[in-house]
Structure 1
Amino acid sequence: MIVKKLREKKQWSQEQLSILSGISIRTIQRIESGNRASLESLKSLAAVFETDIETLQKEIIVIDKNTEEWKAKPWWLRFNLVGIRKRSELVFIENFCIVSALFNWLIGTFSEPKFLHFAPVLFICAYLCTWLIRKADKYKVW
């Protein structure tokens, strides 16, 4: 995904990057969609972008909330991502809600029935986190 960001920053098409790097367009498409790249492909891309291989292997996951691009996102998306800087934070919240819901459901079923009331709420929270992650991915927030 960082390859796509670097390519777009230089305003290159995939075809231009293919010519400059000597990598096929299909390989570039696979790398940009999140598939692993070979060491040779990483070396070629690092040379073209004048960076190191480690930089290419990292994912850009931090939201820069000071840009005009961020301000152009829908208000409801920006509102729901208040306090969230990284995709991994939202994934953590989602997983926490799922585990908590399962725990409450199990405890409520076998021990304390009052815990059963929390399970549906936590499952709904997990679903909303999943939905928000999907929408943020669609709007290319990360």
Structure 2
Amino acid sequence: MSIKDLRIKNGWSQEYLAQLTNLSSRTIQRIEKDNKASLESVNALAKAFQLEVSELKELIEKNKNQEELNSISTNNFINFLKHDKGLVIFLFVNTFLIIINLITNPEVLWFIYPLLGWGIPLFYKRYKKYYI
């Protein structure tokens, strides 16, 4: 749970939390965005949320770690797509073909033929590369 989650759970605006803690609204925004706070800010926030300082520090640290994990997994997916241009082209072209098919003649779903004809060998090639 982050500072923002605690604030929202209590039904407080950033301005109200700033008033409770004698911090500026900008400081509250920065802490919610970056998950970094000075010791004075952590003490003031802990008092406002009626938590121990150690508990609040632990919450901030857990949230920071979770955001880092999310960033790593997003970067891994983006790197995967950068290195597999064939898959990106496959997705782009077939999305385009599906749209064309559904706009021009939705009664006959012809997009399935290039999708399967190109997709099955592409999947097999990736499967073989990573799992066999």
- Calculate the TM-score normalised by the size of structure 1: 0.46
- Calculate the TM-score normalised by the size of structure 2: 0.49
Bigger Rg over Cα: 2
Structure with larger RCO (C-alpha < 8 A, sep 6+):
1
